[in-house]
Every structure is written in C-alpha cells, then in structure tokens.
Amino acid sequence: MRDTHSPTRTQFGWLLAAVSATLAPHAIELPYWLVILCAGLIAIRSTLLWRRGKPPRQLLILLVAVAAGIGVRFEFGHFFGKDPGVALLAVLLCLKLLESRTTRDLRAAVLLAYFLQVGLFFYSQTPGIAALALAGALLTTTTLLSLEDAAARPAAQLRTSAVLLAQGLPFMLVLFVLFPRVQGPLWGLPSDAYSGMTGLSDTMTPGSISQLGLSDAIAFRAEFSDTPPPPSQRYWRGPVLTRYDGRSWRPGFSTIAAAPRYAPSGRAYEYRLTLEPHNQPWLLALDFPAANIPKTRYADDFRLLAEQPVRMRTRFDLRSYPATAVGKDENAIVLAEARRLPANFNPRSTRLAQEIAAEAPDSAAILARILERLQGMDLTYTVSPPLLGTHAVDEFLFDTRQGFCEHFASAFVFLMRAAGVPARVVTGYQGGEINPVDGSLVVRQSDAHAWAEVWFTGRGWVRVDPTALSAPARIESGLSAALGDWDALPLLRRPGMDWLREVRHRWEALSNTWNQWVLGYNPDRQRDLLERIGFPQPDWRTLAMLLGTSAAGLMMLLLAWAFALRRRRDPLDAVWARFSRKLARHGAARHPWEGPLDYGKRLAMTFPERAEPLRTISEDYARLRYGAEPADPRSVRLLARSIRRLKLK
C-alpha cells in the first residue's frame, strides 16, 4: 500500500548518489561500451529528476535490456561467472533506476546496489576499494532511510544511517572473527574465476620474462625470523626448463615425491612466505627447502610444490639451506634431456662451443672458458632487447648483443649443451627489497629472473647466473641498478624516486598487515586465534557459543542505549513525577487533566494539616515550569529537597 507511493526527489537523489558511487569503481573492469551505457542511463535519469520528467516507456527499456544482454554475451562468450554477472547486474541496476516509479522499485534498486558493492571485491580487496564500498553502502543505506523518514533533512538522514552503520560495526567484527569459516569454493568455479593472476609461466620464450620486468605488482613477501640471506643468495626457484625446441624452453621430465632428494646441510634460513595467487602449484621457495614442510611436495628438480594451484594469497612457514649440494646422483633420463639440442639451429654458437670443448680437458674448464668468452663479448643487459629471428642465440651473441636475463640464460645453456655438458634453465625470482617499515622482504614481478644450472660429475647441479657476467649489479642491487637510464623502468624502480619509495614502503607495510589479518583470515587463522585466546581445539560449537554470547552482549548494549535516553529527561519533570507518586501512595493521585495549582488546592483540602507546604510545592513547580525564566538547577534542587522532607500521615 505504502510501497506504491512515488518517491520524492531527495529519495531519488540518494539512490542516484548510491548507484554512482557503487558503479564508479567498477568502470575499470567493465567493458567500455557498458560503462558508457550505464553513465548515459544515470545521466538520463538525473535529467528527468531535475526536470521532473516521466520515465521512458517500458518497451524501450526492455529493448535496451535485451540489447545489453546480447552485448554481454558477445563480450564474454557466456552468461556464467563473475565478469558477465557483474556486467549484467550493472546494466540491470541502471535500467531499474531509469524505470523506477514507486518506492518499491527503489528498494529493488537498493538490493542490486548492495550486490554490486560485494561485486567490487571480485577484482580487488585493497583498503581503498574497501573504503569505496563502505561509502557506497552508506549512501545505499541512506536511500533506505530516506524512504522511511522523508521528513528529515538530508544531512540528518545521512547522520542517522552513519549511526546505524556504526552500530552495525561491532556485530561485523564479532561475526568476522567468529563466524565459522568455510574454505571455498563450495562448488566448481566458472573458468574465469582466476583470470587476471600474473606470474611466471612454465614456458620461456624470448621476451616472456622482460614482460614481467615491467610490472610493479608484488609476487610474494618473505619475513625472515633472522637476518635474511645476502642478495646474491636470494634465488627463489620457479619452473626448471630443460626441453628446448630452438625457440621456447619447457619443463623436462620430473617426478614428484613426499620428501626431497637431497640431504639439507649448511646454514638454515627460516621464513614465512606469503604468496600472491598465481594459479600455479610451485611455491617459489628459496633454494633448497628443508624436508617435512606441511602441505607441500617435492619435485626432483628441487621445486617445492603446493598440493593445489595457489589461487588465493597463502602463507607457508618454510626453511631453506642455500649451501646444500644437490643432484650428485641425477637420473640418466634427466641428464640426457639436459644435453639434447634441436638440430640445425644457431650454427655459429655451435661451432664456438665445439671449439672450446675440443681444447678443454674437463667440464669445469669448459664452463670457465665459456664464461670467459661471454664476458669478452661485450653484451648489454636491457629490459627492451631487439627482436630476434630463427637463430636466436647466434643473433644475440654475435649481432644484437642486447638481451634480458632469459637471453643470457638461454644462450649460456645452449653453449654448455653444444659443448657436451648437461645444463638447464631455471626461472624464478632473484633478489627482493627489504621494506624498512616492517622488515619484510618484498619480491615483485619485476624481480623475475632466469638463470642456469650445470651438472658436474661428483658435484651435481651447480647454479651459474650468466646475467651476472654482464650486469653484476642486477644480482647485488636489483634491476634498476643494472639498467641504464634510457630503459623503460617501472616508475618506482627509477633512481631518484626515494621519497616516493618511502611512501610506498609504508603503504605496503600497511597493506601487508591488511592482507595477513583481513584478507588472509581463513579457517586456519581462525583456529590459531581462538587457541591463542584460550580455546584449545575449537570446533563449531565453541564458535557458536562465543558468537551467541558476544552477539547477545552487543544486543544488550544496544537495548541499554534504547532505554537510556528516557532517563535523561527533564529534572524538573522528574521531581514533579516523584511528588505525584508520593501523594498517589497516600491516596491522592493527580488526575491527568489536573494542573499543578488545582492539584495543590485539592491536596491542601485533603491534607489540611500539611496544607501550607503542599501549596508551596505546587506553586513553586508551576512557577518553575511555566514562569518566564527557565528553571535554574538550584531551584529545582531546592524543590526536590522540600518534596523529600514532606511528611504525610
């Protein structure tokens, strides 16, 4: 009945503000035509509101809806999943806004707006996005409030809904901490659930790593319990690439076991790795991880693997022994693969390697001579190397002489193999930057790196980083130190941006805390927290009990607030009420219609022996209540005292 009222301009204004605030952050992710469509629809609605026009015909709106649906189908190829879902919701909300005629329509739009605020978190869950979603929720809640309390001023409406959100906040905290957490997904996710995750892939072609070099995104963080290893030992192992087809490097034969194939030795480093999701199983542990790390497995190319691809930010407590000797008894199949080269590629490099092999007495001498030759070639390290043709190694070594780490690693492994020594490419990350604010080591996508491993009889696999020959600063100080000024570096990697880096360090320390405690709050962390506050082995019953108790406690507080304001009533009224109650006990209750003076006269007649004080009290009250001067607290206190002292039989 009430829902069919047509909304006022203020109510519509709030909804327009809420919808704009909710959709604006979505503009980055939505297809551009859809952003334009939504903005247009909102603009039309605003104009109509301004000019008090009528909404367009429903047939027209239906046509736009169908057209937008077809557009979404073309854009995404399907209707299922988060991307088309969010797109459809956005169009639906804007159309609903346009056709709204009644307050009921506004309520429906409000629910859609709430949905889209949750939808924001599909793409990003930074503190900034959280603040935007909160602002959207505040405006949306204000819309609901204005539908009920249309008479209040807009500022008062906003204030009341802010009060409501503030009162909801303690419930949010309690529920967030204590609501039994379930590890999602509940069912198979649509295929686009993990789109947009960046990181290393398991193939390396020229340019694939330099592409990552342009990204400032964080790959993972490591918090060492002790001093971190020196930069030259910070090799974080990713895919190991053995198969070469003349252009791409791919992983070779590898088995997976529950224990590592080496005996860790030397100095140990303990650290907590917080890995950003990259939708791959490898964990990018520091070489070489210790045995018995829970929830992991060991590949025989020394990678540490998770049980499933890492699809959300995950923490691992790890221990590594960089000085361990590995691979002395390497599998013959692996070694055969590590010697194989495709025929008819890079003739000049092949000739060079064969010449070196003919002169050198053993593998160690071959390595030394090849490194010497590479150093003498005057190769340049750059993030934007020229494109290479079929004989990529030849062109890099003898013609262009400019390359990124994948060119150096690829060329070096090619030469070693051509000289008959088993060698392979290892990709991963190298280096990282210590955040001075919280002391954690931050490794970014721009720290992606490719190096090499060479196998010697009796020594096993030995790490060789050919990039270090031409750009030693890359290993010691990172990418920016190794590159010349003319290279296109990410802004914050450029020298001379120290103050900006300082700001960024602080921001990243904050967002690390945010990631660990807010975004990373999962069943494990929930259990840890409860155990720490004194609930050993908490199960759902413990949670339900705690949740019930805290929610009831908060409810009591709210109810106390609801009752409290009553007590803050006028002290003069309270005094008069006490007087009336006192006389009611003596059988002379005040009639509802009786004024203080009439009441006083009647009391004086009922209790003739106390007539004087009774009349004085009534007259004092009447004077204080209805007099020209507002009642001063002193007189009220005096009145209260004379009422207290009044004795009746």
Partner 1 sequence: MPPRSDAWRRQLIALRRHLDRWLFRVGPPETAPIVLGQRRIFVLPTPAGLAFATALLVMLIASINYNLSLGYALVFLLGGVSVASIVHAFRNLLHLSFTPGRAEPVFAGERASFHIVVANHRPARRPALRLTARGTVVPFEIGAGDSADLIVPAVTAGRGWMALGRVRIETTYPLGLIRAWSVLVPEQRCLVYPAPEPTPPPLPEGASRNLGRRTGSAGDDDFAGLRTHQPADSPRHVAWKTLARGGPMLTKQFSGMDGGEIHLDWSTLPAELGTEARLSRMTAWIVAAGQRGLAFSLALPDVRIATGRGSEHSANCLRRLALFGTDAADA
Catalytic residue numbers read 405, 449, 465
Q: Does 144 bind partner 1 (CB under 8 A)?
A: yes
Under a CB-based contact definition with an 8 Å cutoff, are residues 304 and 289 in contact? Answer: yes
Q: Does 155 bind partner 1 (CB under 8 A)?
A: no
* Min dist. Cβ of residue 598 to partner 1 (A): 17
Residues 1, 626: Cα–Cα separation, whole Å: 44
Q: Does 100 bind partner 1 (CB under 8 A)?
A: no
Residues in a beta bridge with 289: 320
Site string for partner 1, 432-461 (x = CB under 8 A): ------------------------------
242: how many CB neighbours lie within 10 A of its CB? Answer: 25
* Min dist. Cβ of residue 144 to partner 1 (A): 4
Which residues touch 536 (CB under 8 Å, ≥6 apart)? none
Q: How far apart are the first and last CA of the chain?
A: 59
Residues 189, 371: Cα–Cα separation, whole Å: 49
**Host H or E run for residue 624:** helix 611-626
Question: Token pair for residue 579?
Answer: 């007087």
Q: Does 41 bind partner 1 (CB under 8 A)?
A: no
Q: Does 101 bind partner 1 (CB under 8 A)?
A: no
Question: How many residues at the interface with partner 1, by CB under 8 A?
Answer: 65
Based on CB atoms, which residue is closest to partner 1, 50 or 561? 561
Residues 567-626 that bind partner 1 (CB under 8 A): 568-570, 573, 592
* Min dist. Cβ of residue 154 to partner 1 (A): 14
Q: Does 18 bind partner 1 (CB under 8 A)?
A: no
Region of 362-370, 457-465, 519-527, 631-639 interacting with partner 1 (CB under 8 A): 519-527
* Min dist. Cβ of residue 249 to partner 1 (A): 33
Q: Are strands 441-444 and 218-224 parallel, antiparallel or unpaired?
A: antiparallel
* Min dist. Cβ of residue 37 to partner 1 (A): 24
Shortest CA distance to 64 belongs to which of 32, 30, 98, 31?
98
Under a CB-based contact definition with an 8 Å cutoff, are residues 494 and 483 in contact? Answer: no
Q: Which of 179, 191, 495, 502 contacts partner 1 by CB under 8 A? A: 179
Q: Which of 11, 117, 208, 346 contacts partner 1 by CB under 8 A? A: 117
Q: Is the dihedral of CA 372, 378, 383, 387 positive or negative?
A: negative
Q: Does 4 bind partner 1 (CB under 8 A)?
A: no
Q: Does 245 bind partner 1 (CB under 8 A)?
A: no
Which residue's structure tokens are 């005040």? 590
Q: Does 633 bind partner 1 (CB under 8 A)?
A: no
**Tally: H helices and E strands in the chain:** 23, 15
Q: Does 170 bind partner 1 (CB under 8 A)?
A: yes
Residues 242, 445: Cα–Cα separation, whole Å: 23
For residue 540, the 8-state DSSP code is H
Residues 488, 501: Cα–Cα separation, whole Å: 17
Q: Does 528 bind partner 1 (CB under 8 A)?
A: no
Shortest CA distance to 384 belongs to which of 202, 209, 248?
209
Q: Is the dihedral of CA 631, 633, 634, 635 positive or negative?
A: positive
580: how many CB neighbours lie within 10 A of its CB? Answer: 16
* Min dist. Cβ of residue 581 to partner 1 (A): 14
Residues 334-353 that bind partner 1 (CB under 8 A): none
Q: Which of 51, 183, 295, 633 contacts partner 1 by CB under 8 A? A: 183
* Min dist. Cβ of residue 163 to partner 1 (A): 8
Region of 90-98, 444-452, 515-523, 640-648 interacting with partner 1 (CB under 8 A): 515-523
Q: Which of 39, 49, 164, 611 contacts partner 1 by CB under 8 A? A: 164
Which residue's structure tokens are 């809420």? 18
Q: Does 130 bind partner 1 (CB under 8 A)?
A: yes
Based on CB atoms, which residue is closest to partner 1, 361 or 592? 592
3-state secondary structure of 595: coil
Q: One-letter amino acid identity for 139? A: L
Residues in a beta bridge with 269: 320
Site string for partner 1, 465-504 (x = CB under 8 A): ----------------------------------------
Under a CB-based contact definition with an 8 Å cutoff, are residues 445 and 209 in contact? Answer: no
Region of 10-18, 57-65, 317-325, 550-558 interacting with partner 1 (CB under 8 A): 550-558
Region of 46-54, 57-65, 465-473, 563-571 interacting with partner 1 (CB under 8 A): 563-571
216: how many CB neighbours lie within 10 A of its CB? Answer: 13
Q: Does 193 bind partner 1 (CB under 8 A)?
A: yes
Q: What are phi and psi of 133, to 5 degrees?
A: -65, -35
Q: Does 562 bind partner 1 (CB under 8 A)?
A: yes
Residues 37, 33: Cα–Cα separation, whole Å: 6
Under a CB-based contact definition with an 8 Å cutoff, are residues 233 and 322 in contact? Answer: yes
Under a CB-based contact definition with an 8 Å cutoff, are residues 208 and 410 in contact? Answer: no
Region of 332-340, 369-377, 418-426, 553-561 interacting with partner 1 (CB under 8 A): 553-561
Q: Which of 507, 521, 535, 607 contacts partner 1 by CB under 8 A? A: 521
* Min dist. Cβ of residue 77 to partner 1 (A): 20
Q: Does 10 bind partner 1 (CB under 8 A)?
A: no
* Min dist. Cβ of residue 513 to partner 1 (A): 13
Q: CA triplet 300, 303, 304: central angle to 5 degrees?
A: 110
Q: Does 527 bind partner 1 (CB under 8 A)?
A: no
In angstroms, what CA-CA distances link 450 with 221, 352, 360, 410? Answer: 19, 23, 27, 9
In angstroms, what CA-CA distances link 443 with 318, 421, 449, 509? Answer: 16, 32, 11, 13
Based on CB atoms, which residue is closest to partner 1, 103 or 618? 103
Q: Which residues bind partner 1 (CB under 8 A)?
A: 3, 82, 107, 111, 114-115, 117-118, 121-122, 125, 129-130, 133-134, 137, 141, 144-145, 147-149, 151-152, 160-161, 164-165, 167-172, 175-176, 179, 182-187, 189, 193, 312, 518-522, 551, 555, 558-559, 561-563, 565-566, 568-570, 573, 592
